[in-house]
Structure 1
Amino acid sequence: MSKKLKMSPLKICTHSGTFHADESLAVYMLRTLKQFKDSDLIRSRKEADWDASDIVVDVSGKYDGKKYFDHHQRDFSDVFGPGFKTKLSSAGLVYKHYGKQIIKENLEIDNDKEIDFLYDRVYKDFIEAVDANDNGINKYDDQDQLKPNFRDRNFQLSSVVSNLNPSWIIDPTDADFDKAFEKASEIMGFAFMNYLEYMGKSFLPAKQYVEAAIGSRHEVDPSGKIIVLDRFVPWKEHLYNLEKELGIEGEILYVLFADSSSAWRIACVPVSASSFDSRQKLPEPWRGVRDDALSELTGVPGCIFVHAAGFIGGAKSKEAVVKLAQMAL
């Protein structure tokens, strides 16, 4: 009876010495996949080590989308896809080819539409900033530009990773760099997975709640300008998208939801997701007033507060915030 041959673990190779955020993340992303789960990491600038590896990132001067994923070639100018202009780094290259597989395996999602949405969104909100940072691309083309070239609110990690490189004072060895690289990869991976899981397990499932609330808005008030969520979910972006789909853009003014303390909130819908201005603020006389004084002013029992800026308020019951929203109309 013949014995089964033990398969050798796959080998991921990246360059030795000083490391950066892009290959730290690229290696982490590959390691989340079943095929690379138990892989060995080789950090080397030797061609013999590249040849002996199964996948090579951020080194070799080659890119073929199969084994080699380097972006340092003089003629390299690849971007994520149509509409993008940020040149890819090793993180972007790995994500471009393995991103959908990473999403599918880590989030256990089979819905192609959801995978496509997350694939594009995670690149825009996380990976593109890594690519831009590694390639020395400014966020703005000039100081007077109002619209940025890419989003970086979820990426402020490049300096953290850079500072993990061993100090020249200790005359570091390759082993010192290799040990520090593992920590850098762990940090980049933690941040990436935290955002990926938020998008896949929190943001996406919230859509059904917002959709249901919009569908029953006329039961809350005949105007259809108030929606009620029985629990808090990330609602803003879903609200804007669903309004556009339904042809009711700008119509919903107030979103009511239960908060973590079992009280209820009334939130004014912002003009846009990034705006501090609201479509319609709560009445000026209510702003900055609290508790019994607010209940006496409005005639609604159980009031808690209205923010001084008028964009949010709270009360002890659903009935109370519904009444406040109706009055605010």
Structure 2
Amino acid sequence: MSATQAEVDHPAKKQKMDTDRKIIGTHNGTFHCDEALAVFLLRHTKAYAEADLKRTRDATILGTCSIVVDVGGVYDESKQRFDHHQRGFTEVFGHGFTTKLSSAGLVYKHFGEEIIANRLNTAPQDGKVSTLWLKLYKEFIEAIDAIDNGISQYDTTASSRYRSRTDISTRVSHLNPAWNQPIDSQTLDAQFLKASAVVGQEFMDRVDYYANAWLPARDLVATALAKRTKADPSGKIILFEQFAPWKEHLFELEAEQAIAPSEQPVYVIYPDETGGNWRVQAVPVSPESFESRKALPEAWRGVRDEELSKLSGIDRCIFVHASGFIGGNATKEGALQMARAALTL
């Protein structure tokens, strides 16, 4: 007997099946990025993967939902109610973040580690899950929280020099019908699902990038930082056997490990993109700064090739940038010699 026929013959069985099926509730009408992402995230949890979606502001209907986001005036994890509009709501993500949460941040705070673990096919207790959970909040979720709560990105009243309206919150907003287009519930619900897929796919793309590219680079930097005295007894030189983005990770790891300024590295050695030559780069004073902790010697700056080799006394030099932030040598040993010599000049 088919499932449909069984439900016809046994209406009580159909009623029980409908009752057991979970429902995600959110508000109807114009939608925003935060609840679009919140719904997407919930559908990537074990509990709500197969849940139906109900978009309404009817309190009676919302009361029948298994979980409610961005509507209802209640934040209570035990009741699976995740709204942020009520008076007195001040919940933040914690871990040093102070931006008030939207429904996206609330759902991410409680379900994010499970969602990331599911994506990586690992256990939520895996150490990298926690690292990625914090990273994704910083790089993706926090801005959505801030925009939805009307929090300015900069503490300034000055007019911006240009407008940028391509952030994910704005792109989701643009999926709402225009003022002179139909705004019936069927159209809005269809557009909401499209918005949820758009923001959700971007979130998952970020998870994949940070898990498969950013985190491996962090591991390389952590290993090189721990072994820096092998590159040079001073501990002032870090050697990478392969190129990887290192600046952000270096500063974060130094802070986490409370490395004193007097013990921090000042030069980084790595193979260039071609793999044929080597670079010696001065560590900046901050990830975005053009100022170096210790630039390469002034006498070397702007000098190239054989002239630089004669000047420095180091074979096979290629160049030193005019600002002294980076230089090159044809060999790893040559680059190391440049860094060691620069420490003393």
Cα distance, 1:97 vs. partner? Answer: 1.5
Tell me if 1:277 matches 2:291: yes
**Is the contact between residue 26 and residue 71 of structure 2 (CA under 8 Å) also seen in structure 1?**
yes
Cα distance, 1:294 vs. partner? Answer: 4.9
2:147 aligns to what? 133
Tell me if 1:165 matches 2:179: no
**Distance between the aligned counterparts of 2:312 and 2:198, measured in 1?**
50
- Residues 17-53 of structure 1, C-alpha deviations (whole Å, 9 max, x = no match): 2111111211121122233333333322333442343
Residues 39, 235 of structure 1: CA spacing in aligned structure 2 closer, same or farther, 3 A cutoff? same
**Is the contact between residue 21 and residue 157 of structure 1 (CA under 8 Å) also seen in structure 2?**
yes
Mapping of 1:116-195 within 5 angstroms?
Answer: 116-142=130-156, 156-195=167-206
Query: In the alignment, residue 76 of structure 1 is paired with which amino acid?
Result: F
1:98 aligns to what? 111
Tell me if 1:46 matches 2:40: no
**Is the contact between residue 58 and residue 90 of structure 1 (CA under 8 Å) also seen in structure 2?**
yes
Q: Provide structure 2 residue ranges, at least 5 long, that are not aligned to the other structure.
A: 7-12, 159-165
For the residue of structure 1 that corresponds to 2:100, the secondary structure is coil
Mapping of 1:232-271 within 5 angstroms?
Answer: 232-243=243-254, 245=257, 247-250=259-262, 251-262=264-275, 263-271=277-285
Tell me if 1:32 matches 2:13: no
Mapping of 1:300-319 within 5 angstroms?
Answer: 300-319=314-333
1:88 aligns to what? 101
Mapping of 1:5-24 within 5 angstroms?
Answer: 10-24=22-36
Among 46, 55, 61, the residue aligned to 2:67: 55
Residues 317, 28 of structure 1: CA spacing in aligned structure 2 closer, same or farther, 3 A cutoff? farther
Number of aligned positions between the proteins: 317
Cα distance, 1:135 vs. partner? Answer: 1.0
Tell me if 1:70 matches 2:100: no
TM-score normalised over the length of structure 2: 0.78
**Is the contact between residue 113 and residue 124 of structure 2 (CA under 8 Å) also seen in structure 1?**
no
For the residue of structure 2 that corresponds to 1:86, the secondary structure is strand
**Is the contact between residue 240 and residue 249 of structure 1 (CA under 8 Å) also seen in structure 2?**
no
1:150 aligns to what? none
**Is the contact between residue 18 and residue 177 of structure 1 (CA under 8 Å) also seen in structure 2?**
yes
- Residues 114-141 of structure 1, C-alpha deviations (whole Å, 9 max, x = no match): 4444433432333222111111122345
**Distance between the aligned counterparts of 2:95 and 2:308, measured in 1?**
53
Greater Cα offset, 288-297 or 59-68: 288-297
Query: In the alignment, residue 232 of structure 2 is paired with which amino acid?
Result: D
- Residues 257-309 of structure 1, C-alpha deviations (whole Å, 9 max, x = no match): 22332132222111123322110112234434555665565455554443333
**Distance between the aligned counterparts of 2:125 and 2:246, measured in 1?**
21
CA-atom RMSD in angstroms: 3.2
TM-score normalised over the length of structure 1: 0.81
Greater Cα offset, 196-205 or 69-78: 196-205
**Is the contact between residue 63 and residue 69 of structure 1 (CA under 8 Å) also seen in structure 2?**
yes
Residues 313, 19 of structure 1: CA spacing in aligned structure 2 closer, same or farther, 3 A cutoff? farther
For the residue of structure 2 that corresponds to 1:170, the secondary structure is coil
**Is the contact between residue 172 and residue 195 of structure 2 (CA under 8 Å) also seen in structure 1?**
yes
Q: Percent identity?
A: 49
**Distance between the aligned counterparts of 2:226 and 2:94, measured in 1?**
35
**Distance between the aligned counterparts of 1:31 and 1:79, measured in 2?**
23
For the residue of structure 2 that corresponds to 1:120, the secondary structure is helix
Query: In the alignment, residue 167 of structure 1 is paired with which amino acid?
Result: A
Query: In the alignment, residue 158 of structure 1 is paired with which amino acid?
Result: S
Query: In the alignment, residue 317 of structure 1 is paired with which amino acid?
Result: T
